A and B are shown apart, each in its own frame.
Chain A
Amino acid sequence: MLRRLLKDFRWGLLPVPGRVIALIFFVALFIFPLIVPATYYVRVLTYANIFVIFAVSWDLLSGYTGQVNFGHALFFGVGVYSVALLNKYFGLQPWATIPIGALVAALVGVATCIPALRLRGPYLSLLTMAFPIMLAYLVMAFKDVTGGEFGIGGIPRLAGTVTGEYYICLLVMTASVFIMYKLTDARSSFVRTGLIFHAIREDEIAARATGINTIRYKILAFAIGGLFAGLAGVLYTHVARAAGPSALSLTMSFQAIIWVVFGGIVSIYGAVAGVYTLYPLVEFLRRTPIGQYRLLVMAVIVILILLFMPEGVAVWIRDKIETECPRCKLTNAAWRRECRACGAPLR
Chain B
Amino acid sequence: MVELIIVSTLVTGGVYALLATGFSLIFGNARVINLAHTAFFMVAAYGMWYLMRELGLGIIASIAITVSATTLLGLLVYRFLINRIREHHAAVLLMTVALALVFQEIFLGIFASHYRAIPFLVSGYSEILGVRVLNQHLLSLGIVAAVIVIVWLVLTKTKLGIALRATAQDAEIANLMGISVPRTLLITMGIATALAAIAAVAVAPLWVVYPYMWNAPLVMVLVIVVLGGLGSIKGSIIGAFIVALVEVLVATLMPSGAYLKVMFAMLVMIIVLVVRPGGLFGIVFEEERL
Contacts and interface: CB of A to CB of B under 8 A. Distances in A.
Contact of B81 (A115, A121, A307): A307
Nearest to A294: B105
Nearest to A300: B102
A265 B230 CA distance: 27
B270 A115 contact: yes
A130 B269 CA distance: 9
Nearest to B99: A303
B240 interface: no
A138 B263 contact: yes
Contacts of A114: 274
B95 A303 contact: yes
Contact of A134 (B102, B263, B289): B263
B290 A293 contact: no
A137 B259 contact: yes
Contact of B270 (A121, A130, A204): A130
Interface in A221-258: 250, 254, 257-258
Main secondary structure of the interface of A (DSSP, over half): helix
Contacts of B269: 126-127, 130
Contacts of B259: 137, 140-141
B266 A134 contact: yes
B102 A299 contact: yes
A118 interface: yes
Nearest to A139: B259
Contacts of A296: 101-102, 105-106, 109
Interface stretch (B44-52, B86-94, B130-138, B159-167): B86-94
> Interface extent on B, as a size class?
35 or more
Contacts of B88: 310
Contacts, number: 115
B226 interface: yes
B5 to A, nearest CB: 22
B94 A306 contact: yes
A258 B273 contact: no
A302 interface: yes
Contacts of A310: 85, 88, 91
B222 A126 contact: yes
Interface in B181-233: 215, 219, 222-223, 226, 230
A140 B258 CA distance: 10
Contacts of A7: none
Interface in B62-97: 81, 84-85, 88-91, 93-95, 97
B114 to A, nearest CB: 15
Given A119-B277, A120-B288, A130-B270, A303 B102 contact: yes
Contact of A292 (B102, B109, B260): B109
Given A137-B262, A137-B263, A302 B94 contact: yes
A159 interface: no
Contacts of B89: 68, 121-122, 125
Contact of B260 (A70, A123, A126, A141): A141
A115 B266 contact: no
A261 B270 contact: no
Given A123-B288, A295-B105, A303-B98, A115 B263 contact: no
A184 interface: no
A119 B260 contact: no
A310 B226 CA distance: 29
Contacts of A300: 98, 102
Contacts of B273: 115, 118-119, 123, 127
Nearest to B226: A126
B15 interface: no
A129 B259 CA distance: 17
B122 interface: no
A94 B45 CA distance: 49
B280 interface: no
A133 interface: yes
A150 B65 CA distance: 42
A317 B87 CA distance: 24
Nearest to A295: B105
Nearest to A265: B90
A62 interface: yes
A68 B90 CA distance: 7
B267 interface: yes
A127 B94 contact: no
Interface in A120-175: 120-123, 125-127, 129-130, 133-134, 137-138, 140-141
Contact of B274 (A62, A118, A138, A306): A118
Contact of B90 (A120, A125, A299): A125
17 contacts: A68-B93, A118-B274, A120-B290, A122-B33, A122-B89, A125-B93, A127-B270, A129-B222, A130-B266, A133-B266, A141-B260, A261-B91, A295-B101, A298-B101, A299-B98, A303-B99, A306-B91
Interface of A: 62, 68, 70, 114-115, 118-123, 125-127, 129-130, 133-134, 137-138, 140-141, 204, 250, 254, 257-258, 261, 265, 292-293, 295-296, 298-300, 302-303, 306-307, 310
Given A127-B273, A204-B290, A299-B98, 11 more contacts: A70-B93, A123-B230, A123-B277, A127-B270, A130-B266, A130-B270, A141-B260, A292-B109, A293-B109, A296-B102, A306-B91
Closest 9 CB pairs of A and B: A296-B105, A299-B101, A299-B98, A302-B98, A137-B263, A130-B266, A141-B259, A140-B259, A299-B102
